[in-house]
Chains A and B, each alone.
Chain A
Amino acid sequence: MLAALFFGFAALLVVTSLMVVLHKNPVTSALFLVLAFCSLAGIYLLLRAEFLGMVQIVVYAGAIMVLFLFVIMYLNLQHDVESGLQIAVRRGIGWFVGALLLLVGGALLKRGWALGPANEVLPDVEQGNVAAIGRSLYSRYLFPFEITSILLLVAMVGVIVIARGRTRHAGGRAGGAGGVGGGA
């Protein structure tokens, strides 16, 4: 039964990812991506990573994609109109490269085909997944955890500076600071 559920979620994931890439309307692509994230969360739940499954929905489907939708609605984007020989040629090359990558990946996988079943029991399973991840995050991975908070702070400051646009005084200074930052 686990295999049936996995195939269902996997099929949904592949179909929705294809629709993200193929559909002309960016809003529909974004909504298919939300569905792809939710099916990926389902696969995480099947692999007994329930904390990650829920966090996937909260962070990816619930926050990042909302941000995408905001920007798409703000920019008022319509259907992508794409035609012409040059674009068709580039598209052909793109699909060819994709097929090539898939063949290379298949060949590599065939060499070391890991047939062993994924283990059912994870360490510390009696305390639950969340407690075990928490313990790991605060003991062994404490430094990356704290650095991540600084990373988010930097991202926030950067977004506010970029999205604010140019003011009268910041025009020259932004160029100077950019030059100095690029040189250093």
Chain B
Amino acid sequence: MAALWSIPAVQTATWAFVKVMIILNGMLGVVSYLIYAERKICGHIQARTGPNRVGPFGLLQPIADVLKLLFKEEFIPANANKVIFHIAPILAVFPAVVTFSVIPMGPPPMFVATDINVGLLLFLAMSSLGVYAITLGGWSSNNKYALLGGLRSSAQMISYELAMGLSTIPVLLRSGTLSLVGIVENQAGWYALGRTPLALPNWGIFHWYLILPFVIFLITAFAETNRAPFDLPEAEGELVAGFHTEYSSMKWALFFLGEYMNMIVISSIAVTLFFGGWHGPGLMFGVHGWLSEGPAWMGLVWYLIKLGALMFFFIWVRWTFPRLRYDQLMGFGWKVLLPAAIANVLIASVWIYIRGGM
């Protein structure tokens, strides 16, 4: 046993496995309470309180929901393709969970499961694989509404993936590495505003050429996760719940879970690319003494704060804006966002070249 442990590859793999288990279970808990948070926030935006009966302030509502879903009847439509019908919900969760393994939640090496040097490409690859869940779910249900919802959603997702990938290129140009840990480490420190005594953190978003990419990334994030105002594929009013019409009980819960996990993952990537990841004021000062042990977990705290803020923004937008019509949606993605993202790459590269390289 000790001989096996002495191989560094085995050590790395075991620690990565432990971290992945922690992240997986943690995220499952976070997702259920995110659903609770969404219902509470939705309620308050609509001038009512959300669930407040089950437990104090309705905090046990997710547990009640899970119990209800476990006991619902599982119904499989008659001519559905059984194998694909069962696989589709799993495919909804799988890409999001895989992306979690490369997101840095705190200073390395403890808070990153693995740091591969093409982390950003892995995220883009997994978001490309996320299209399959909805396409196959819609098709295998043998139901016209589901098929239409599934095809619409996949067309929307692959259209907005382009703009999302292109909008991350200015970040890549600035940090010079595709590794997510490298991108965050590049956002350390502060930079002075001209000759004034003010200083801004060196986060991505405080550089002018990364503001528009951030806006584009956020808009495409809404489209990628099929959330309002881009949620026509699962619209309750128009399409009878779209691609998950025929899914019940735990399979539907898996789709739902997949959607929220996707939301958390894309928010995490936005935090990593544009908001400085785990950096925060507590880490900057580097005071000796008791504060110097703080930094490691302080990084995790800052990351969670930024993540929470971004997810609140997601929920806020959902209950504020009306839905886009499908042709408006596709026109916006191809005719507005894609040229804007390409123009951004041009502007960012010219600016970085003028400033003398990375």
Contacts and interface: CB of A to CB of B under 8 A. Distances in A.
Does a CB–CB distance below 8 Å link A and B in the complex? Answer: yes
A4 interface: no
A28 B136 CA distance: 11
A70 B118 contact: no
A57 B125 contact: yes
A150 interface: no
A149 to B, nearest CB: 12
Given A27-B84, A66-B154, A51 B121 contact: yes
A128 B154 CA distance: 33
Contacts of A58: 121, 124-125, 128
Interface residues of A, number: 21
A44 to B, nearest CB: 11
Interface string B134-164: 0110010000000100010011001001000
Contacts of B124: 54, 58
A27 B122 CA distance: 26
B256 to A, nearest CB: 23
Interface residues of B, number: 26
A161 interface: no
Contacts of A130: 117-118, 121, 178
Contact of B125 (A27, A54, A69): A54
B129 interface: yes
A1 interface: yes
B118 A50 contact: yes
A128 B131 contact: no
Contacts of A66: 128, 131-132, 135, 154, 158
Contacts of B131: 62, 66
A73 B155 CA distance: 13
A63 B116 contact: no
A129 B116 CA distance: 12
Nearest to B121: A54
B117 A61 contact: no
Contacts of A51: 118, 121
Interface in B200-224: none
Q: Which of A27, A54, A55, A128 has the most CB of B within 10 A?
A: A54
Nearest to A54: B121
B177 interface: yes
A40 interface: no
Given A31-B84, A73-B139, A57 B129 contact: yes
A174 B141 CA distance: 40
A57 B95 CA distance: 12
B262 to A, nearest CB: 15
A70 B132 CA distance: 11
Contact of A27 (B139, B154, B155): B139
A50 B116 contact: yes
Contacts of B129: 57, 61-62
Nearest to B138: A73
Interface in B56-111: 81, 83-84
Nearest to A34: B132
Contacts of A73: 135, 139, 147, 151
B9 interface: yes
A12 to B, nearest CB: 16
A58 B121 CA distance: 8
A34 B129 CA distance: 10
Interface in A28-59: 28, 31, 34, 50-51, 54-55, 57-58
B159 to A, nearest CB: 11
A47 to B, nearest CB: 14
Contacts of B118: 50-51, 54, 129-130
B81 A27 contact: yes
A130 B120 CA distance: 12
Contacts of B139: 27, 69, 73
B94 to A, nearest CB: 11
A34 B135 CA distance: 14
A129 B129 CA distance: 23
Contacts of A70: 135, 151, 154-155
A-B pairs, top 4 by smallest CB distance, nearest first, are A62-B128, A54-B121, A57-B125, A58-B125
